[in-house]
Amino acid sequence: MHASTHNDEEAAVSARTIVLIAFDGVEVIDVAGPASVFSKAEELQPGSYVLQLASPDGGTVTTNSGVTFAATKPLDELPTAIDTLIVAGGDEPAVRAVIAQGHIGRWLVHVAPQTRRMASVCSGAFALAAAGLLDGREATTHWRVCEMLQALRPQVRVQRERIYVHDGPVWTSAGVTTGIELALALVEDDLGHEAAMAIARTLALPMLRGASQPQLSPALQAQGPASHRLRELVAWISMHPQDDLSVQTLARLAMMSPRHFARAFSAEIGCTPARFVEQTRVAIAEQLLRQTRWPQQRVAERSGFGSVDALQRAFMRRHGVPPTAFRNSDGLSDGSAQ
């Protein structure tokens, strides 16, 4: 019995306290997404995290979708030993109200010196910015309000085309579901790449994107203005990068003549079929470089390039660096397959 109690005390001491800050009008996914990630991490490695949901005054918080979070802890009653603070985002009136009231901002300034990491999801970045905690740092937020954040706080170096940004002890993420990817990055920072990948698989994420990825994927951007027929084809291309994706093959799938297909695709998608196929394959290769330590030959085959030379030329065109440099910049070293 004594040994068990001792082990429990050790786990409590070693656990990292994660505080998620919500408020009336908060986006439910901004809270639930990161909370799910950290709870899965705790299941994977018990004693890793203690999760606390807080709000300015405590009690029940009503999200922008009507879902409520009950029994949130008041900010002023939180322990001083907080490892990571994450401010969620919400609809514009709610975020403006939070900033105007000033409670969260004053509290953030007070606890920042004793907090190892501070983070925001989506428009939660505005609360950090209003408190001056993003001054002189790179940061991001939802693509729709990047300009607004820059205008509010010119001292912030706003990065518009990033999933999340890590600058010193401060992490910020783009819109809504990227809070899951931010939380996975925080877990990876704490527990390692394999733990983050295990959680991503448990949550059935289609891919684990790196910080440098654009907020909107090539497929999603392409599907916006496209007709139903080409929207389905764009989705199919993303799922079949290793297939023959020549104009002739794609035209047959779209039930068009090659000439008519090429014209329609360029008009609706905004680029030629060949360019879109390359963008899609590069995006898939980026994920494989991020998620695995596969050699370049295997990455080239799985992403549809077929050869290392073709993969390298595509990366140079799109990023100006070879795949190895891209992998190293995202935190992985080039190595053997696992």
* Residues β-bridged to residue 16: 49
Of 20-24, 77-81, 189-193, 287-291, least confident by mean pLDDT is 287-291
Is 334 within the bounds of a domain? no
Here the CATH number for the domain that contains residue 302 is: 1.10.10.60
pLDDT of residue 21: 96
Residues 35-62, mean pLDDT to the nearest whole number? 95
One domain, residues 152 and 59? yes
pLDDT in tens, 111-124: 999 999 999 999 99
Residues 246-271, mean pLDDT to the nearest whole number? 90
Cα dihedral: 320, 238, 224, 286 (round 10)? -30
Is 27 within the bounds of a domain? yes
pLDDT of residue 330: 54
One domain, residues 66 and 9? yes
Is 210 within the bounds of a domain? no
Q: Which domain holds residue 258?
A: 218-329
Is 212 within the bounds of a domain? no
pLDDT in tens, 142-154: 888 889 999 989 9
pLDDT in tens, 164-219: 999 999 999 987 788 998 999 999 899 988 898 889 888 877 666 655 555 455 55
Is-contact 53 72, C-beta < 8 A? Answer: yes
pLDDT in tens, 97-108: 888 888 899 999
Is 127 within the bounds of a domain? yes
State how many domains the chain has.
Answer: 2
**Is the pTM value of this prediction over 0.95?**
no
> How many CA atoms within 13 Å lie on the side-chain side of 333?
1
One domain, residues 126 and 72? yes
The CA distance from 190 to 29, in Å, is 23
Strand order across the 117-120 sheet: 59-62, 68-74, 49-55, 16-21, 84-87, 117-120, 170-173, 164-167
One domain, residues 74 and 185? yes
> How many CA atoms within 13 Å lie on the side-chain side of 159?
22
What spatial distance separates the first Cα and last Cα of the chain, rounded to whole Å?
41
pLDDT of residue 3: 40
Among 174, 202, 230, give the residue marking a domain's end. 202
pLDDT of residue 205: 77
pLDDT of residue 338: 37
